[in-house]
Structure 1
Amino acid sequence: MELFQEGTYRPIGVLFDTPVYRQIFQNCWHMPSYKVHVAMVAELLRLQKENQLLSEVTPEDMARHLHVMSKRSLRVQLLDFQLQEYDNDDDDEVRMLLSMAREVNDSMRMRDIQLDAQRLISAPELMPPNFISAKMMKEAKAIGEALTERHQQTSCSEHLQQPRDVVLDVVPKVLQGLWVPKPRLFLTMPSMKLDKMAVGVTKGVEDGVLAALGSTTHEVNMSRSTRDEMITSIIKTLHEAYPEDIRRKMLNSFSPQLMHHVAEVTAEQITALFQPRGKQEDTMSLPEEPTTLHEKPTTLHEGHTKLPDKTTSLPEEPTSLHEKPTSLNDEPTSLPDETTFLHEQSPVKVEESRKKKKSRMNRFIRWMQKRIFTRIHPQ
């Protein structure tokens, strides 16, 4: 089933043509604030190198701290205000999807900041003159003290996380590890070009994990080292699945087949965190149709709320960021009960069953897209 097509996850494809998504995109990938954060992390790394900052504080800690501080800016507060329209939305799917889109882009941005700052420290000749100032150095010392104090107050490196938390922590970094080219150009925000693909694959992984677990109430203690080992394992598995030349072509074209494979491998490994060894499934597949398709038909016609005019206040997203991928040829693994049924039937009935399955998937995609469209697309 072609869940991935044209660089996106089909069930949420309409999201990317809406003003609210463009607002999220432009707010995240804001070059002036990006440069400020790169300069600040570079200065913090310099202080650390000179033993003026606790060595246990990581570049990830630094970038995340700056991200939290940036929420006080007028630019970010304006976006928060515009997104409040969806906080009390009866349709949680739309609200959670917008939150995911924002978190995925923010996660990739923070990772790009870390890598650019680390490159500045290893190659000081790349440091732009305006990245060094007395004010910057003074502010960096204050931030360094705050980071040290926070680290000393945190006694445990593990954090209790639910499935969605793990998905958001793992998937964007997996995709950056696969897609961001090396060597990367300095101060170009390379992950910006992954935005639609990354949001879609993250949603696909979440759907796969929740379909396997059957609940969002599971929790697991997850340390950064465990997370990083998982990311390395996923990338290694995908590298071994394709010869390098073929893999490179698939990466360059945002191959739907590769995107689907990434989603399945990642969902399988994340699901294994929450399941006892004896209960882990032999195979994982992305869900084909949620049970709510027939449980909440009224949501198709609810919420025709217009976006406020101010959603178009920032410049629109560039249209040249994405290349159109080839079409997906592989279908997700069928649900167990359907698999048994297919093997027992004649070729004619097998074909009929496949057509019915495809029809159900297409109905689900139209249903999901209409839910999103009626809530966040201007009338």
Structure 2
Amino acid sequence: MTESVNASQPHQPRQSANAHRYSASDIQIIEGHEAVRLRPGMYLGSTGERGLHHMVYEVVSYAVDEHLAGHAGTIDVTITAEGGIRVADDGRGLPVEAEEPTGTSALERELTELPFGSRLRTGYGNSGGLSGLGLFVVNALSSRLTVEVRRDGHRWTQQYEKGVPVTPLTRNEETREHGTTIAFLPDAGIFETTRYSFATLSEHLQELALLNAGLAVSLTDERPDRVIRHHHPDGLKAFVARLNPHPVRLVHSPVIGFESENEDKTLCVQVALQWSTWPPGELRSFANGSRTHEGGTHEEGFRSALTGLVNDHARRRGLLSAQDGDVPAEAVHRGLTAVVSVKLVRPVFEGSTRTRLANPEAGAYVQEVVRAHVTDWLDDHPDEAAAVVRHVLGPSTGQTLL
């Protein structure tokens, strides 16, 4: 039998007899580590090499925070023989005491609960991390994670699998040591690759050592036995020296470097800069230890302040005539190698890769600090200042040094 259809009427889809019973109870809500494992890219940004290495940066950032708070001087990172990662520091050790009303340890809560803000962080926090989600995300995306804490006179340990605790937090033998060691094996079922690059990790750890003067960071690879150690007491000054090409003809020496913290201790600025005859120069900016590839308010504040103060100095010293216009920004920054690092309690990022800093207070404070310190340096070093002005007043500006 053939069924006839009236073409003048729209087709009506057939409905199940139970369709009208669809309700809120049919909506599945996935929370906690299950949500991270279901959509890891949402939390880590990538399940490729970039995301794999960022797992390490998340754990290391906790140790860096301990350094910023004045409690840790060394961080030891190891690529284990089986391809996992172990990060050890000599900080205070993550808290192990039980929290009310659940009775769960603070450590376990940090590793298993999606935090709203960071509970355990001190100093400026989130040094290269994901807004306080670091250990939670790393634990959820690891097939196995072990944490060892040395504090309160004992060694404490706990093990996890895919974000779930498989042993209780256990108090072990007595010890006078202090610090935290976290070892994890990334889940091969989630990541496109689980092979770590020694060169990639070493470059990032070297940047952290340069950004945090006095911090000693080591990287050990147990696959082919090799070790590298990064320790730079001169901090950003050493960073600028490394960025300069070799050989290079310097306009002035040594590197200009300074840092400042605002009154309420929510914002810290560190800057190092040096002019050379290498035309491109290089400006690298960081926020809480993370490279801000797309710049942001701190970069804008630095560029604006430097352009203005160089022009002001040249006019005050009579190095520019009354008929001369201002030296353009591109001339002031020609041959300039600089590193601008800010640390904030509440950083705000934007951009396609979230590597552009958006905090307006960062730009304003960088401007204030750069203008004050570089102006003082120019006034206190008249010969070097004259060399800088001669350099920026190159032939392309169309101006002549008096």
Using the size of structure 1 for normalisation, the TM-score is 0.25
Choose between structure 1 and 2 for higher RCO, CA contacts under 8 A separated by at least 6 residues.
Answer: 1
**Of the two, which has the highest radius of gyration?**
2
